[in-house]
Amino acid sequence: MDFLPIFVATKDRKIVVVGHGQMADAKCRGVLKTAANVMVFADTPSVEAQGWAAQGLIDLRSGLPSAQDFEEATLFYAAHADDSINDALADMARSAGAIVNVLDRTDACDFITPAIVDRDPVVVAIGTEGSAPVLARQIKADVEAMLPAELGRFARLANAFRSKVRALPEGLPRRNFWKAFFKPERIQAAGSDEVIKASLEALLSQHLEAEPEAGSVAFVGAGPGDPELLTLKARRHIHEAEVIIYDRLVGKGVLELARREAKFIDVGKKGFGAQVTQDKINEYLVREALAGWKVVRLKGGDPSVFGRLDEELAALAEAGIDSTVVPGITSAAAGAASLKQSLTRRDRNSSITFMTAHDAKGYAEHDWRQLVRSGQALAIYMGRKSATFLQGRLLMAGADTDLVITCVENISRPEERRFTSTLSEFAQRLDDDNWNGPLIIFVGIGNERVANTVKTPALQEVSHGTY
């Protein structure tokens, strides 16, 4: 992000606007929703601006502001038709300590004004960093339709009730109370203020009498990286988590779905490199759950595929801690989807083996002759460091040098890339092109007609949803 979304205190603060016309009036309408002191400079003010001045809502003046007019100003909107005047006034305003917005010139702005959905005190701000105002308005319209008109009144009454809710323990008990209060059906059935207050009192009594929830652990499959590939249950657990223990294969976009207040513990492992021991991970899980927290153990792909799930479940069971497992899309499935290939195909392979290239002792040994038999394909996880070893073992077991090998790195992410090669050449290709991201190696799967080709998609931001 180039602009950090924040809310600026404007009550009794001076805001200066220079310019006239539709855009200057639009800026005024936004700031007039606050309790700011608004000073507007316009030689030919609109009828609407004149009306605001007549009501005492703005201090309307002609000409241009002087340095004195910017004293103690918090914000300055420059909407003059002449860019040189806007630039000069912007410098003057900054010298006085104000932050500046220049109409239709994001590069000259200290801040930008988002599209706003107003359910005061609930306010939703939507911005596109000036790149697509029409898109921001489209999203605003959709959000407007989602939020009940009564939401603001509910929020105001809830704010007045916060001191009583402090009787509940901090953290999950209080969040559960507010989640129950703000259920859509409760808001939609809102009555008078007295009815809502009585509802708050009754709900609080229920939560005060409830037994405190014990800590628990949810093992959540984070998929290959794209947040859109998460299940709805996975999203819910991530959003509700108080502690998130995650590995290095979890995509950044997935972590961003968590609450900012959550505690994050990075236990990333990397083959043949520094890592957090399994015993230490088990210790973290038990410690945080026994402290009463709702813990999510985020694992890349599916928790049950090369994720040492059984060891962590056993540690929790021994400590008497409740747990649940939420499956995710494993990398082999996501990689095949990216390649537009089936994991099994009639007349090619009737079975596929998921295998890892190394284990706790180093390179992993397998029954290589069995693995290269006809009608078999392989999906090899964590094979980057072991590529040369894999190549040698497969060749020694009798695999054809022209056997199709497809490597996919950073599956489902903007930086995904892949190539199709042969058993005799793929290991060198990995070294030559510096393939160091999360990687899966398919043996016997790929487009045989495009062997020795590489595809690197142009990097772009992943688009989530319809916007």
Helix ranges (DSSP H) in 75-150: 83-95, 133-146
Rounded Cα distance between 384 and 363, Å, is 11
Written as six digits, the tokens of 249 are: 């294969």
Burial label for 353, CB within 10 Å (0-12, 13-18, 19+), is middle
CATH superfamily of 14-113: NAD(P)-binding Rossmann-like Domain (3.40.50.720)
Of 273, 271, 217, 215, give the one whose Cα is nearest residue 246: 217
Other CB atoms within 10 Å distance of the CB of residue 318: 10
For residue 465, the model assigns a pLDDT of 38
Specify the CATH number of the domain 332-455. Answer: 3.30.950.10
For residue 460, the model assigns a pLDDT of 41
User: What is the distance, to the nearest Å, from the Cα of residue 380 to the centroid of all Cα atoms in its chain?
Assistant: 29
For residue 451, the model assigns a pLDDT of 40
For residue 340, the model assigns a pLDDT of 93
For residue 270, the model assigns a pLDDT of 60
Given a contact cutoff of 8 angstroms between Cβ atoms, the answer to whether 252 and 244 are in contact is no
Q: Which residues contact 175 (CB under 8 A, 6 or more apart)?
A: none
Low-confidence ranges of the chain (pLDDT < 50): 272, 449-454, 457-467
Rounded Cα distance between 404 and 432, Å, is 19
Q: Backbone phi, then psi, for 41, in 5-degree steps?
A: -110, 115
The Cα angle at residue 299 between residues 297 and 304, in degrees rounded to 5: 100
For residue 38, the model assigns a pLDDT of 97
For residue 392, the model assigns a pLDDT of 93
Of 174, 176, 199, 204, give the one whose Cα is nearest residue 187: 199
For residue 452, the model assigns a pLDDT of 41
Rounded Cα distance between 265 and 246, Å, is 6
For residue 448, the model assigns a pLDDT of 52
Instruction: Clarify whether 247 is annotated catalytic.
Output: yes
Written as six digits, the tokens of 464 are: 């989530």
Q: Backbone phi, then psi, for 295, in 5-degree steps?
A: -105, 140
Convert the pLDDT of each residue in 229-249 to its tens digit. Answer: 999 999 999 999 999 999 988
Of 49, 51, 41, 50, give the one whose Cα is nearest residue 19: 41
Rounded Cα distance between 189 and 206, Å, is 20
For residue 268, the model assigns a pLDDT of 80
Among 25, 69, 247, 302, which one carries the catalytic annotation?
Answer: 247
Catalogue the long-range contacts made by 450-454 (C-beta closer than 8 Å, 24 or more residues apart).
450/420, 451/402, 451/404, 451/420, 451/421, 451/422, 452/419, 452/420, 452/421, 452/422, 452/425, 453/419, 453/420, 454/417, 454/418, 454/419, 454/420, 454/429
Containing 357, the helix (H) or strand (E) segment is none
Among 140, 142, 269, 433, which one carries the catalytic annotation?
Answer: 269
Specify the CATH number of the domain 216-329. Answer: 3.40.1010.10
250: amino acid identity, one letter: V
Maximum Cα interatomic distance, the chain, rounded to a whole number of Å: 91
Given a contact cutoff of 8 angstroms between Cβ atoms, the answer to whether 38 and 59 are in contact is yes
Rounded Cα distance between 8 and 245, Å, is 34
Instruction: Clarify whether 400 is annotated catalytic.
Output: no
Rounded Cα distance between 292 and 121, Å, is 32
**Unique residue bearing structure tokens 């601006």:** 49
